[in-house]
Structure 1
Amino acid sequence: MTDRYLILEDGTSYRGKAFGAASTTTGEIVVNSTMNGYQEIISNQIYHNQIIVFTQPSIGNTGLAQNAYESVLPTAKGVIVREYENLATDQFKRISLDRYLKLHRIPGIYDLDTRELVHHLHRAGNMKASIVDVDDEHAFDQLHATVLTNQQVSQVATSRPYANPGDGDNVIVVDFGLKSGILRELSKRNCNITVVPSSFSSEMILDLDPDGVVLSTGPGNPESLADGVLDMIQEVQQSVPLFAIGLGHELFAMANGAKIEKMPIEHHGSNHPIREIITNEIFYSGQEQGYAVDPKSIDHDNLYITHLDLINGTIQGLRHRDYPAFSVQFSPDGAPGPKDSADLFDDFMEFMARRRENNAFRY
């Protein structure tokens, strides 16, 4: 097999063997510690412009399933694994991980010491990386000169509204880089879903007569979306129940006066213990987190904290004191990961039912 190199912004180089697409690529390198669900991870738009390092030693050994894609067109920049299996399990025995990456022009490297790489990244923190044919001075110069876009949401989210019909509550999902798991959970509850672009104003959303609004997950820095989006959230939360997830959670916090900070090391995995403060219950969740809400910035007259991460103490959930609006940083839909917190979708359904019964939300 052809040798390829992973080079890091700090000058480090790792040699491995090529699989997937043969292209040269640059992105932010992140570590994912999930033990399974590589298909969902690679197709999750949260990883737009990122190179994913898997800590699970063997990837590709369960094949690919038609019902496990989190987006139609994955936009990750690369995949790094210790070893991979070229196993195809689709109905025609055609689509293996290697072929899937080739189809979507995503390069990969295997036969690389991912354990040492992960330790290095945990010491060094977030940085850019490239997958290249030769780790010479020119390759490092190109890596340092590359400027990664801060317009990730506009590159992966829908530009036009579309329907995911159902017979129940009318739910508007604002797309910041939506993963399919959110739609699956809402569809299980018979919601009539309309997905709208992140550029929709509160007036445009409320004109669709929603019973509730979901702010989706997505990639990138929430501060790059602040103009217009925060005004929309402030107005929508006063009118209908609102449930915000991931990037949506960060934007919900900002709309209510909190500040966001970049994490020195991103957290990606399905083994994060989360404590629900009210019940003191501990559960595990899937998480794709590069930013966190600054706890010192929370206005406790507006928000109170509902969930905390027991590994690093980051805020994982918020609820508004006056409106039926709440948010979580983690992934309650799993996909991949535990579904211990999927009942948060039921809480959202209850908010909508109470509003419908009373024609106004009351505590």
Structure 2
Amino acid sequence: MTRAYLLLADGTVFEGISIGARGTSIGETVFNTGMTGYQETLTDASYYGQIVTQTYPLVGNYGVNDEDEESSRSWVRGYIVRENCAAPSNFRSNGTLDAFLKKQGVVGLCGIDTRHLTRLLREHGVMNGAITDDLADKDALLAKINKYTITGAVEAVTVEQAFTDGPEDGLRVALFDYGYKYNILRSLVSRGCRVTVYPASTAPDTVLAAHPDGIMLSNGPGDPSACATQIENLRGLFESGIPIFGICLGHQLMALSQGGRTEKLKYGHRGANHPVKDLAHGRTYITSQNHGYAVVDGSIGAEKGAVSHVNLNDGTVEGVRYKNAPVFTVQFHPEASPGPRDSAYLFDEFISLMKERNLQHA
């Protein structure tokens, strides 16, 4: 066993055991409250630039497989668990978490008090840190940790070229890839959609020239206010009259394009157990979430849109329905993976919007 450490920006040190790849990796330290879904978490591009801590104490007990990945690779800067299961048991398993981390080049740490770490992050907010097997020059490493920022996140994770999936005769959906999870694409294709996935900075004219029936805005990493190109592009798409459905970062970018503001949360929402109330239906759903920013309540003018969903833990905005355009967005993940599928009905609403528009233009 190789000793390894988590060094936080405030100088706090946690000593544990190295798992995954060896070396030193710096990132923004966050926590995820999910009890399962660690493979989906590791391959969710929204975690780009972050060191992820699992609050659930035993991770890796059902192994890894070839079906639960949500992107082509892992994007995390590091991974921390209390106890790593070295002997998983599940009929779908074809490997261990440790082997997966090594293959993906992810530096990991186990054997630390993750409850203590989570309380620190809750009290002081997310902070930069580094997982390392070498603390010989702690001061130099601390300087690097404190200088670290997540930049160019969306451009780093988006596809390089557009591609299409789904039935030839399906509703045509343009999916902007800001760091999309595979299950967004699967959720649309399973409902009969013909989906073209576009790079994040694709010009509106390129997309509109393909005459899509609807536009999907995906999740993704980083500070939404840094995505100037994407925000400007959404202004033009909003005016097109084409139904638009945004998730997570897509939700934030649409709000910014319509005059709203976003703010960084103290420690974010990451996990599969977040209660959200749909104000129109009067129902509460348990949702999967992964974000560090939120749309500021009241920042979108009442003449432009209204809050449609709220987080019942802290009252933050979880959804917006826009006026004078068939556009709606949510902060949480209705595609789940991991997490409950309670809010998958939103994909059906998106399908209905596209069909209604087609009937009006028939």
TM-score, structure 2 length as denominator? 0.96
8 Å CA contact 1:66, 1:90 repeated in 2: no
Number of equivalences: 358
The structural deviation recorded for 1:88 is 5.7
8 Å CA contact 1:182, 1:333 repeated in 2: yes
Q: Match of 2:249, as an amino acid?
A: L
* TM-aligned CA distance change 1:92 to 1:121, over 3 Å: closer
Which residue of the partner structure matches residue 226 of structure 2? 224
Which residue of the partner structure matches residue 180 of structure 2? 178
Which residue of the partner structure matches residue 330 of structure 2? 328
The structural deviation recorded for 1:90 is 9.1
- Measure the CA separation in 1 of the matches of 2:46 and 2:246: 15
The structural deviation recorded for 1:162 is 1.1
- Measure the CA separation in 2 of the matches of 1:162 and 1:87: 39
- Measure the CA separation in 2 of the matches of 1:174 and 1:10: 38
8 Å CA contact 2:161, 2:199 repeated in 1: yes
* TM-aligned CA distance change 1:242 to 1:149, over 3 Å: same
8 Å CA contact 1:64, 1:89 repeated in 2: no
8 Å CA contact 1:29, 1:126 repeated in 2: yes
Q: Does 1:101 align with 2:91?
A: no
Which residue of the partner structure matches residue 338 of structure 1? 340
The structural deviation recorded for 1:278 is 1.5
The structural deviation recorded for 1:264 is 1.5
Which residue of the partner structure matches residue 62 of structure 1? 62
For each residue in 1:126-180, what CA deviation from the matched residue of structure 2 results, as whole angstroms up to 9, or x when unmatched? 2100011133333323323x43232111111112111113241010000101111
Q: Does 1:295 align with 2:301?
A: no
8 Å CA contact 1:84, 1:110 repeated in 2: yes
**Residue pairs, 1:88-237, within 5 angstroms:** 95-135=95-135, 136-144=138-146, 146-166=147-167, 167-226=169-228, 228-237=229-238
Ranges in structure 2 where 5+ consecutive residues have no aligned partner = none
* TM-aligned CA distance change 1:72 to 1:89, over 3 Å: farther
Q: Match of 2:19, as an amino acid?
A: F
Q: Does 1:20 align with 2:20?
A: yes
Which residue of the partner structure matches residue 32 of structure 1? 32
- Measure the CA separation in 1 of the matches of 2:349 and 2:291: 23
8 Å CA contact 2:3, 2:133 repeated in 1: yes
Q: Which runs of 4+ in 1 moved over 3 A?
A: 87-94
- Measure the CA separation in 2 of the matches of 1:196 and 1:87: 40
TM-score, structure 1 length as denominator? 0.95
8 Å CA contact 2:65, 2:92 repeated in 1: no
Ranges in structure 1 where 5+ consecutive residues have no aligned partner = none
8 Å CA contact 1:65, 1:90 repeated in 2: no
8 Å CA contact 1:64, 1:90 repeated in 2: no
- Measure the CA separation in 2 of the matches of 1:281 and 1:155: 37
Q: Does 1:271 align with 2:273?
A: yes
Moved more, 275-284 or 325-334: 275-284
**What percentage of residue pairs aligned between the two structures are identical?**
36
Q: Match of 1:103, as an amino acid?
A: K
- State the Cα RMSD in Å: 1.6
For each residue in 1:273-319, what CA deviation from the matched residue of structure 2 results, as whole angstroms up to 9, or x when unmatched? 10111222011000112111111312110001100000011100001
Q: Match of 1:230, as an amino acid?
A: I
8 Å CA contact 2:27, 2:51 repeated in 1: yes
Tell me the SS of whatever aligns to 1:296: coil
Which residue of the partner structure matches residue 4 of structure 1? 4
* TM-aligned CA distance change 1:353 to 1:237, over 3 Å: same
8 Å CA contact 1:266, 1:290 repeated in 2: yes
8 Å CA contact 1:30, 1:52 repeated in 2: yes
Which residue of the partner structure matches residue 311 of structure 1? 313
